[in-house]
Structure 1
Amino acid sequence: MPDWEKRFRAPRVGLPDWAEEAPDRSLFVSNATGTYELYAWDRATGAQRQVTDRPNGTTDGVLSPDGQWIWWFSDTDGDEFGVWLRQPFSGGEGGERPADEPAAPGLEPSYPAGLALGRDGTAVIGRSTDEDGSTIHVVRPGREPEEIYRHRESAGVGDLSHDGTLIAVEHTEHGDAMHSAIRVVRLDGTAVAELDDTKGGTEELGLSVMGFAPVEGDTRLLVGHQRRGRWEPMVWDPLTGAETPLAIDLPGDVGADWFPDGSALLVEHSHQARSELWRYDLASGELTRLETPAGTISGATARPDGTVEFLWSSAEKPPQVRSTSGRTVLDPPGFTAPESVPVTDAWVDGPGGRVHALVQKPAGEGPFPTVFDIHGGPTWHDSDAFAAGPAAWVDHGFAVVRVNYRGSTGYGRAWTDALKHRVGLIELEDIAAVREWAVASGLADPERLVLAGGSWGGYLTLLGLGTQPDAWALGLAAVPVADYVTAYHDEMEALKAMDRTLLGGTPEEVPERFAASSPLTYVDQVRAPVYISAGVNDPRCPIRQIDNYVERLERRGAPHEVYRYDAGHGSLVVEERIKQVRLEIEFARRHLGSGSRPAPPEPSARQA
C-alpha cells in the first residue's frame, strides 16, 4: 500500500467530548471501520463501543449532561436533512448496539440549527427548512415540543444556561448572514436581553455564542466579538447587562471556552495558520501559555482536574489527542499514518494586501508541476495541519500551494469581510498574485499549473478556469458551485441567506452580480481539461446546477470528466475518498504527464 493511501486508511480519533456531570463518559469520532462514526468511551473501565453504523457515516453527536444518553443526527445519505435520535450510553444487552429512539418525537425532519441539552432532560433544538426558515423548539421530558422562535432569516441555538432557564440564540434577523446578533430568551421564548453589534456603526460587526458559565446560578455568557477588528472573547451578563472586556493581548483571532469551575478561560489563539492554547484567570487577568507543539490545534477542552486535552497535528505530523499532563489521551487502533513534508510560508503582495500561502514541495529542484489547492468556506483558512490530500500530491511529485485569500478567517475582520459583491473574482485576484510569485520564484512550472479545490474551492476552480483561461493547465473541482443562479434556488435556506449577504440580494434583485460571479457565465472560455466530482445528495452545492455546467462543456466538446457518487457534500467513507483522490491524480497525470500543456480547443464566444 503506498504511503498516500495509508494516510487516508490509518485509523484516526477525534477530540473526545465528555459529559458535564459524568466526565468519565466520553463521545468521539473515528474512522476505525473505514467510515467515520461515533464511539462511546467509558474512561473508568476503558470500554469503547461503536454508537452509529451507517453506510455514509455519522459525525454529529452530543452527550447529555448526565452521560446517560447519546444524541446523534440522522440524515439520508449525507443530505443533512433529518431528525435527532438517541440511544443509552451504556449500550444494549451483552454490549450489543441498542435500538435508537426518536430524541424529539413530534418534530419533523429539518436541517440542524444547533442543539443544547439541559441537566433536567430538557432539550433546545434549532431547525431550518425552506418552508419555515429558522425555528427553535423546547422539548421537556414527557411533553410535546414547544416552538419558541421563528424567523425567515438564519438563526440557531447557541447554548442553554447551567440552570436550564436561559437560552442564547444567534440570529441574523437584520439580514446580514455574515454577522450574527445574540438574543437571550427564557424557555417560553420571552426575551431577556439583546446584544447586537450590527447597529449604530458604520460597519457591521458579528457576535458568536461561546457558552454560558458552567456554574449553578451563574448567568454569565462568554461571547465572541469583532469590536477591535478580530475575533476575541468578552463576558456578558444578560440579566444585568454588564459587559466585561478581557485583556488578552495576542495577535490574530482569539476564541475561548470555560474551565469547568468557571474561574478561568481556555483561550485558543490562531495566528498566521498556527494555533496555541492559553489559560486566562478571570480574577487576576493573568494569561498563561500552555505548552503545546508548533502546528494546529483543531479542538481543546478543559477537564475537571485542570488539565487540558487537545487534538493537535502539523502538516508533517499526523493528528494526536494529547493532554497538558504530557500523556496521549486516546490512541487510535492499528497503524499510524506516515508523515508528510512540512509547510513553508509565503507572503505575497496582492491587490488587497499581503496574501499568506502555505507551500509543500517534493524533494529535488523545481520548477514542479504545482497544485493550487483552494480551501472551501469561504469563511475558513488553511493551516499548518495534517492533510492527506495535499500529502498525496507531494508523493506524486507535485508542489502544493494553499492560499488564504481575502474572505478567509484568521487574518482579521477586514480581510474576511472584503469578500462582498465581486464574489469569487476577489479571491481569484489573490490566487493570481500567489501564482505569479510561485512561477517567478522557480517553484512552479507555468505549463503545469493545476487549479483545484472542494466546495467553495471547487467553485473558485471553475470560475478561475473560465476567467483566467490562459493561466491553468488543468482544473479539479469537487462539489462545486457551477451555476450560481440555479445553485441559489436549489440550496439549503441558510446558504441562500449567505449568498444574499455576499452578493447584496437575490438573483432577481442583482442579476448582474450573480452573472459576474457564476462559473456558468464563462464556461465557453474554459480551455483546460476539467475534472468534476459531486455528491448526488448534496444540499450545499446541489447536483442540478453542476449538471447544467457539464451540459455546456459537453455541447462544445470540451475535455472533461465527471464523477458522481451517492453521498452529500463530500464523503465520510475512507475508500470513497481514496477513490476520488486516485481519480484526480490519474486525470492530472494523464493530461500533464508529458510535462507540457495540451493544446486547447478553440474557445467559443463568451456567454453574455
Structure 2
Amino acid sequence: MSSSGENSSSAAVPEWEMRFRAPRVSLPEWAEGAPERSLFVSNATGTYELYAWDRASGAQRQVTDRANGTTDGMLSPDGESIWWFDDSDGDEFGVWMRQPFAGGEDVVAVEGLEASYPAGLALGADGTVAVGRSTDEEGSTVHVVRKGEGAPRELYRHRESAGVGGLSHDASLLAVEHTEHGDAMHSSLRVLRVADGSVVAELDDTRDGTEELGLEALGFAPVDGDSRLLVGHQRRGRWEPMIWDPVTGVETELAIDLPGDVSADWYPDGRALIIGHSFEARGELWRYEIEGGVLERVQTPPGSVSGATARPDGSVEYMWSSAAEPPVVRSTGGGVVLDPPGAKAPRSVPVETVWVDGPGGRVHALVQRPEGHTAGNGGPLPTIFEVHGGPTWHDSDSFVAGPAAWVDHGFAVVRVNYRGSTGYGRAWTDALKHRVGLIELEDIAAVREWAVSSGLADPERIVLSGGSWGGYLTLLGLGVQPDAWALGLAAVPVADYVSAYEDEMEALKAMDRTLLGGTPEEVPERFAASSPLTYVDAVKAPVYISAGVNDPRCPIRQIDNYVDRLRERGAVHEVYRYDAGHGSLVVEERIKQVRLEIDFVRRHLG
C-alpha cells in the first residue's frame, strides 16, 4: 500500500475510497420460530438498507429503499414479517412499519400511535408487541398490543427517559428500563404484567441515595414459562451479567472471572450463555454453562467481536474485525457465514497499544502508523487525533475506514479512550460528571504530550478531529487548548451547549441533566464551562465543520451560532451542511465528507 493511498491496479481509485465502497453486512438476526429466515443490514447498493435472507434457498432480498438509508429493523419471531423504523431524512422521529418477509406492501405496524423517537421494540412469539416511545411533550411511554385486542394499550409513562427492555418468551411479562430517579446514565428495572400493567418486581441499584449503579435488561430466557431475566449490573465496578427472576425474587450471581466488562446473551435452550468479553480495546467470546458454572473459551482471532448470536445447533455466529483486517461474519461451525459479493475492502495497518499516565489515572490509546514507520524510524509524523463519540463508547482494535484513510495519506492516527469511555470500569466511565468535556481533554492532552515526546508526532502538525461527542471535544479543545492543535475537524458536533439542550431530543436532555447536574437555568456556570461557544474567541486553528441539517442529537441551530461567531471574528473556517441526520448512511456522501476533510487539511497543513 502506497503512502498516497492509491491502488496499484487502479490509480484512479484510492484505497481509502475502496474501503468505504466495499460491500459490508451486519451480523444476521434470525427468527426463533424459523431459524432459516434472517435479517441483516448492507451497503450493497451504496446506501445502508435492510435485507431479508432465506438461508434454505440462499435467496436475498432488499427490504427497504430510502434516500437516507435504513438500519433500524427487527424480524418477527415467526419469521413472517420485518419491522423497520420510518423517519424523515434521518431525524429519528417516525413510526414502525411492517413488511412481509417474502415481500409486499409496507404498512403502519401499530395503528393509533403517533410519530415519536423510538425507545425500544419487543415482539412476542404469540404476536404481542411492546413499543417504546419518546416525545418532548409526553416524555417516555410504553404501549402494548396483544393479538385480538386492537388498539395499543399504554402500560407505562414517565417524564424521564425509559424504554422497552424485553418481553418474556410467553409474552406475559414486560421489562422496562427507566431513569425515574433522574440519572440518565444508570437505569433501573421494572417488570410489569402485560395483562393489566401491574408491577411484578423492581430492581434498583441505588445505594443509600448516594450512588447510582446501572442496570440493563439483556433478555428473558427463551423458554415458555421461564421468568428468568438476564441482567447487566455494575455492583463490582464493571458491567457483568446476573440472572434475576422477578417472579420469585431470586438473584443468581454468575462466577465469571474475567477482567474488564462482560456482557451476555442466551443460548436457545436457556441452559447456557454466550459471553462477550471486552478488555483493553479487544474482544473475545466464551460459553458459560449456568448449571455448574463452567466457562469455556469460544475461539476467535485476536481483534474485536462486535456482536454474536448462538444458533439452535449450538454454533455461534459473530462479527469480527481488527484494525488491519476488514469485518467478516464467521461461525464456530466453520467458515464465513455471509460474504457479500463485490470487491473486498483493502486491509490497513495494525494498531499498537499505548498507556499514558494522565491526571485521572492511566489512559489507554490506540496508535496506527503508516507502513514502514516505526518508533524512532522516519521522524515525527503529521498526526491526527481521532476522538470517539459517545461519550459512553470506546475505540477498539476494529476496522474503521476513516482512520485508515488518514494512515494512507501519511498520518499517524491516535485514538484515546479518555475518561467517560466504556470498557475500563464504572469509575472511569462516570468520571466526567459536572466537568464535562474538560476532563476528557485533560486525558487527550496527556496522550498528545506522549505523542510528541516519543517522536511520533510533529508538534506543529497535529490535527484534532472527531464526530458527535468527538466533534464536541474537537471544538472545545480548539478553544481550551488553542496552542496544542494545528487544525480542527468537527463532524455533527455540540458547539453551543445551551442551544443544543434547547433543541435536542428529550432523551439527550435527560443525559445532559445527568452529566451537568441540572438544566442551563439551574447550573448555568457548568453549561458555560463545558460549551465550545464560551471559548470560541480563543480559537487559533482553522476549523472545518460538517453537519446534518435534520440532526436531532446535535441540532443545526447551535452549530450555526458557533459558526456565526467564527465569521464575526474573521476566523479561518469552512462549513459543510448536508441533508441527513446525525451522520449519513449513504456511502458516496460519507466519501465526499472525508474527501472534503482531506482537502481542507492539505490546504491548511501542507
TM bin, normalised by shorter chain, reads over 0.9
Instruction: Pick from 39, 44, 49 the counterpart of residue 27 of structure 1.
Output: 39
Deviation at 1:201, TM superposition (A): 5.9
- Residue type of the partner of 1:501? T
2:78 paired with 1:66? yes
Q: Which residue of 1 aligns with 2:578?
A: 565
Instruction: Map Cα deviations across residues 543-584 of structure 1 (whole Å, 9 max, x no partner).
Output: 000000000000010000000000000000000000000000
Please show how residues 571-590 of structure 1 align to structure 2 within 5 Å.
571-590=584-603
Supply the distance in 2 between the matched residues of 1:282 and 1:463 (Cα, whole angstroms): 47
Please show how residues 291-330 of structure 1 align to structure 2 within 5 Å.
291-330=299-338
Please show how residues 272-287 of structure 1 align to structure 2 within 5 Å.
272-287=280-295
Q: Which residue of 2 aligns with 1:94?
A: none
Supply the distance in 2 between the matched residues of 1:418 and 1:241 (Cα, whole angstroms): 32
Supply the distance in 2 between the matched residues of 1:201 and 1:105 (Cα, whole angstroms): 41
Instruction: Map Cα deviations across residues 7-33 of structure 1 (whole Å, 9 max, x no partner).
Output: 000000000000011100000000000
Would you say how many aligned residue pairs link Structure 1 and Structure 2? 587
Instruction: Map Cα deviations across residues 497-549 of structure 1 (whole Å, 9 max, x no partner).
Output: 00000000000000000000000000010000000000000000000000000
Instruction: Map Cα deviations across residues 40-98 of structure 1 (whole Å, 9 max, x no partner).
Output: 0000110000000000000000011000010000000000000000000011xxxxxx2
Q: Which residue of 1 aligns with 2:469?
A: 456
Supply the distance in 1 between the matched residues of 2:211 and 2:147 (Cα, whole angstroms): 44
- Residue type of the partner of 1:33? T
Supply the distance in 1 between the matched residues of 2:595 and 2:410 (Cα, whole angstroms): 14
Supply the distance in 2 between the matched residues of 1:117 and 1:510 (Cα, whole angstroms): 41
Deviation at 1:199, TM superposition (A): 3.9
- 1:30/1:275 CA distance change after superposition, 3 Å: same
Deviation at 1:301, TM superposition (A): 0.1
Deviation at 1:141, TM superposition (A): 3.2
Supply the distance in 2 between the matched residues of 1:90 and 1:199 (Cα, whole angstroms): 50
Supply the distance in 1 between the matched residues of 2:356 and 2:452 (Cα, whole angstroms): 12
Structure 1 stretch 547-556 or stretch 191-200: which is displaced more?
191-200
Supply the distance in 2 between the matched residues of 1:590 and 1:342 (Cα, whole angstroms): 28
Secondary structure in 2 matching 1:71: strand
Q: Which residue of 2 aligns with 1:81?
A: 93
2:120 paired with 1:114? yes
Supply the distance in 2 between the matched residues of 1:101 and 1:418 (Cα, whole angstroms): 45
- Residue type of the partner of 1:368? L
2:545 paired with 1:532? yes
Instruction: Map Cα deviations across residues 244-263 of structure 1 (whole Å, 9 max, x no partner).
Output: 00000000000000000000
Deviation at 1:443, TM superposition (A): 0.2
Runs of 4+ in 1 over 6 A off after TM superposition: none
2:502 paired with 1:495? no
2:526 paired with 1:513? yes
Does the 8 Å contact 1:462/1:519 carry over to 2? Answer: yes
Supply the distance in 2 between the matched residues of 1:119 and 1:222 (Cα, whole angstroms): 19
Q: Which residue of 2 aligns with 1:132?
A: 138
2:356 paired with 1:344? no
Please show how residues 353-364 of structure 1 align to structure 2 within 5 Å.
353-362=361-370, 363-364=372-373
Supply the distance in 2 between the matched residues of 1:543 and 1:344 (Cα, whole angstroms): 37
- Residue type of the partner of 2:153? E
Secondary structure in 1 matching 2:404: helix
Please show how residues 383-402 of structure 1 align to structure 2 within 5 Å.
383-402=396-415
Give unpaired runs (5+ residues) of structure 2: 1-12
Secondary structure in 2 matching 1:126: strand
Instruction: Map Cα deviations across residues 279-298 of structure 1 (whole Å, 9 max, x no partner).
Output: 00001100000000000011
Secondary structure in 2 matching 1:114: strand
Supply the distance in 2 between the matched residues of 1:432 and 1:358 (Cα, whole angstroms): 15
Q: Which residue of 1 aligns with 2:52?
A: 40
- Residue type of the partner of 1:208? E
- Residue type of the partner of 1:351? P
2:161 paired with 1:148? no
Does the 8 Å contact 1:504/1:510 carry over to 2? Answer: yes
2:241 paired with 1:233? yes
Supply the distance in 2 between the matched residues of 1:199 and 1:145 (Cα, whole angstroms): 36
Give unpaired runs (5+ residues) of structure 1: 92-97, 594-608
Instruction: Map Cα deviations across residues 453-477 of structure 1 (whole Å, 9 max, x no partner).
Output: 0000000000000000001000000
Structure 1 stretch 138-147 or stretch 305-314: which is displaced more?
138-147
- Residue type of the partner of 1:269? H
Does the 8 Å contact 1:179/1:198 carry over to 2? Answer: no
2:480 paired with 1:467? yes
2:536 paired with 1:523? yes
Supply the distance in 1 between the matched residues of 2:551 and 2:256 (Cα, whole angstroms): 40
Supply the distance in 2 between the matched residues of 1:445 and 1:161 (Cα, whole angstroms): 56
Secondary structure in 2 matching 1:318: coil
Instruction: Pick from 23, 26, 29 the counterpart of residue 17 of structure 1.
Output: 29
Does the 8 Å contact 1:254/1:268 carry over to 2? Answer: yes
2:435 paired with 1:422? yes
Deviation at 1:216, TM superposition (A): 1.0
Supply the distance in 1 between the matched residues of 2:228 and 2:209 (Cα, whole angstroms): 26
Secondary structure in 2 matching 1:499: helix
- Residue type of the partner of 2:172? T
Of all paired residues, the percent bearing the same amino acid is 81
Instruction: Pick from 126, 129, 132 the counterpart of residue 123 of structure 1.
Output: 129
Secondary structure in 2 matching 1:18: strand
Does the 8 Å contact 1:134/1:152 carry over to 2? Answer: yes
2:411 paired with 1:403? no
- Residue type of the partner of 1:157? V
Supply the distance in 2 between the matched residues of 1:299 and 1:590 (Cα, whole angstroms): 40
- Residue type of the partner of 1:38? L
Secondary structure in 2 matching 1:125: strand
Q: Which residue of 2 aligns with 1:167?
A: 174
Deviation at 1:200, TM superposition (A): 2.2
Q: Which residue of 2 aligns with 1:102?
A: 108
Secondary structure in 1 matching 2:398: coil
Supply the distance in 2 between the matched residues of 1:202 and 1:539 (Cα, whole angstroms): 32
Secondary structure in 2 matching 1:127: strand
Instruction: Map Cα deviations across residues 399-440 of structure 1 (whole Å, 9 max, x no partner).
Output: 000000000000000000101000000000000000000000
Instruction: Pick from 210, 229, 242 the counterpart of residue 218 of structure 2.
Output: 210
Deviation at 1:202, TM superposition (A): 3.9
Secondary structure in 2 matching 1:55: coil
Supply the distance in 2 between the matched residues of 1:514 and 1:183 (Cα, whole angstroms): 32
Does the 8 Å contact 1:408/1:416 carry over to 2? Answer: yes
- Residue type of the partner of 1:421? H
- Residue type of the partner of 1:526? V
Instruction: Map Cα deviations across residues 263-309 of structure 1 (whole Å, 9 max, x no partner).
Output: 00000000000000000000110000000000001100000000000
Deviation at 1:224, TM superposition (A): 0.3
TM-score by length of 1: 0.96
Deviation at 1:140, TM superposition (A): 2.2
- Residue type of the partner of 1:327? G
Does the 8 Å contact 1:481/1:541 carry over to 2? Answer: yes
Secondary structure in 2 matching 1:584: helix
Does the 8 Å contact 1:483/1:520 carry over to 2? Answer: yes
Supply the distance in 2 between the matched residues of 1:105 and 1:401 (Cα, whole angstroms): 49
Supply the distance in 2 between the matched residues of 1:590 and 1:182 (Cα, whole angstroms): 53
Q: What is the RMSD computed on CA atoms of the aligned residues?
A: 0.6
Secondary structure in 1 matching 2:143: strand
